[in-house]
Every structure is written in structure tokens, then in C-alpha cells.
């Protein structure tokens, strides 16, 4: 397995510019740096029919969301609730704006991007609480924004994939609205970081062990939080009765083994999960669509899976 040349170029450019890793910064500095960096290499010049920023009520205060209507929208559409990546510490609806625009247009879907609370200001389980509250609000109110209430899926990358999985588990357990589908893009599913891929790809491929430790230290309150299934959904007692999922992984990503294990457990325990692997890719490649062609393939695959789920 070889590193994709476009992914290698991204890593080389970062090294040439001497950009500090986010874990070398304070949390506030890392948030600001990621806001700037995420916009540099993402998808460019993506039109949208309309996007609206609103605040919705949550258990800890208002939650900012952004609702996207695709270009040419003339009737109500299925809905994707999107939770952005960023280690539960960095990222926002702005860092993933172009990606959400592309998904909305490609569907076509109504996409709702959720700006959930993050650490260190709002540690675990604040992100989980905001994420489930946002889904509940969307179920009740999305018809007012031309979304179809009984066709709602969840999805996200990395930390957002983690939250999508956890939201689905909570919805199953609480017997509330169960999403029609889970789009899990290189999701974090186990906080222990002990898999072979964590050992093999701990350095040199963007998501390093020090960076993961930085994220966890500012998201989790204590060591016991690692074993809470709301942080590590792979530790949930059962993965039965969940919405079908697409689990996408990257070949040079330390998270790949735990994501694959999640898909395998879903299938073993009676849920349905399809796993696809992008061999030459690094963690975070989906939001590098301005320079990495495989990001578009990843989006297209997810869109097709969503369409199939919504058609059932």
C-alpha cells in the first residue's frame, strides 16, 4: 500500500511551511488555526441554493446550526444531519461549509450542520447532549424548512462520525426518532488507542498520537470517560437494532481498525454496515477536496448510500 501522491503533497506542504501541529498550540490557538487551515484546501466555489444560520434550543443553551437548501430545490427533500470533525475540540459549521454544500447539491438533500459544544470549555458529554438535542429539534421542525421529517439520516467525519454513531445508539435506547441511515466517515469509536493501526500510523500522517492525546485531554474530563460508550461507542453493550451504516476508512489513518471493528460488530449483531476503504488516504482527506480527488469519490459514495436508504 502506497501513500496517494495527492495526500503526500498535502503532508509535504504542511512540513515545508513549518506549520505547528494543533497539539503544540493552546486550545484557543488550535481552534483559530484550524478555522484558517480547513478553508485552504477544501472544495472550492461550491454554489448553494440557500443557507440559513439559526440557533436552536439545547440542554446547555442555544445550539448554532446551518441549514442548506441545494441549488434548484423546488420541493421538500430528505435530510442529512451533519456533525463536523475536529476531535471534539476544533472545527465548526464554517470549516465544513463547502463539504455540506456539495453534499446538499449532490443528493439533493437538505443538510443541517450542527455546531455542537466542544472542549475544553464544554467537556464530554456536552457534544453528545447537543447532538441528540439537535436531532430531536430537526425531527420536530425540519418540515418548516422544506425537509421531509420521516427521511432523516445522520453523518459526520472523525469526531462527527463518533457523534453520529452515539446519537443513533441513544435514539435506539430511548426509542426516539431512529435515523434512517448512518454515514460514518473514518469515525472514532474507541478512546483507548491500542489497535495495530494506532501503533503503525501514530506519526507522520497528520492525526498523530500526540494530537489525539491533545484532543482527548480537552474533551474528556477523566480517565473513566474513555470507557463510557457515549465516548467509545465500540464499547456499547449491543450494536443490534441500529440504522444501516456506511463506514468509510483511510489506509494511513490510526482510526481505521476501530472503525472497521464497529462495522464488523454491527453486522455480527444484526445491524447492517457496509465498509469501504480508501487505501492511499490519510485521516481528514474528505475535507481536502480542493486538492485530493478521492474526497469527491468519498462524497459520491456516501450520497449514493443515502439515496438508497431514503428510497426504502
**Active-site amino acid positions:** 158, 253, 283
**In contact, 211 and 202? CB cutoff 8 Å:** no
Cα dihedral 100, 130, 155, 153 in deg (nearest 10): -100
Q: 25 — phi, psi (to 5°)?
A: -110, 165
Cell of 3: 501513500
Cell of 23: 497539539
Cell of 135: 436531532
Q: 150 — phi, psi (to 5°)?
A: -95, 15
**In contact, 162 and 183? CB cutoff 8 Å:** no
Cell of 219: 474533551
Residue of 131, 168, 186 lying closest to 244 (CA atoms): 168
- C-alpha 81/C-alpha 158 separation (Å) is 15
**In contact, 302 and 185? CB cutoff 8 Å:** yes
Amino acid at each position: 500500500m502506497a501513500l496517494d501522491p495527492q495526500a503526500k503533497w498535502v503532508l509535504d506542504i504542511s512540513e515545508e511551511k513549518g506549520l505547528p501541529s494543533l497539539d503544540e498550540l493552546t486550545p484557543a490557538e488550535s481552534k483559530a488555526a484550524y478555522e484558517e487551515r480547513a478553508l485552504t484546501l477544501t472544495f472550492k466555489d461550491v454554489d448553494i441554493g440557500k443557507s440559513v444560520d439559526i440557533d436552536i434550543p439545547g440542554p446547555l443553551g442555544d445550539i448554532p446550526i446551518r441549514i442548506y437548501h441545494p441549488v434548484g430545490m423546488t420541493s421538500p427533500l430528505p435530510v442529512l444531519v451533519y456533525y463536523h470533525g475536529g476531535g471534539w475540540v476544533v472545527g465548526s459549521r464554517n470549516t465544513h461549509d463547502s463539504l455540506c454544500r456539495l453534499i446538499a447539491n449532490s443528493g439533493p438533500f437538505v443538510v443541517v450542520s450542527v455546531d455542537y459544544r466542544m472542549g475544553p470549555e464544554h467537556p464530554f458529554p456536552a457534544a453528545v447532549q447537543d447532538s441528540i438535542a439537535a436531532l430531536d429539534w430537526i425531527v420536530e421542525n425540519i418540515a418548516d424548512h422544506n425537509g421531509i421529517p420521516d427521511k432523516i439520516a445522520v453523518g459526520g467525519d472523525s469526531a462527527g462520525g463518533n457523534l453520529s454513531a452515539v446519537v443513533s445508539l441513544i435514539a435506539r435506547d430511548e426509542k426516539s426518532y431512529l435515523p434512517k441511515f448512518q454515514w460514518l466517515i473514518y469515525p472514532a469509536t474507541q478512546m483507548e488507542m491500542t489497535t495495530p493501526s494506532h501503533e503503525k500510523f501514530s506519526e507522520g500522517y497528520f492525526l498523530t498520537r500526540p494530537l489525539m492525546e491533545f484532543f482527548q485531554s480537552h474533551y474528556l474530563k477523566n480517565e473513566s470517560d474513555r470507557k463510557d460508550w457515549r465516548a467509545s461507542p465500540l464499547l456499547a453493550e449491543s450494536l443490534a437494532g441500529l440504522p444501516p451504516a456506511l463506514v468509510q476508512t483511510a489506509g494511513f489513518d490510526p482510526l481505521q481498525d476501530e472503525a472497521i471493528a464497529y462495522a464488523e460488530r454491527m453486522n455480527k449483531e444484526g445491524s447492517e454496515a457496509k465498509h469501504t476503504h480508501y487505501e492511499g488516504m490519510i485521516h481528514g482527506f474528505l475535507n481536502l477536496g480542493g486538492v485530493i480527488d478521492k474526497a469527491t469519490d468519498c462524497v459520491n459514495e456516501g450520497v449514493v448510500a443515502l439515496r438508497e436508504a431514503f428510497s426504502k
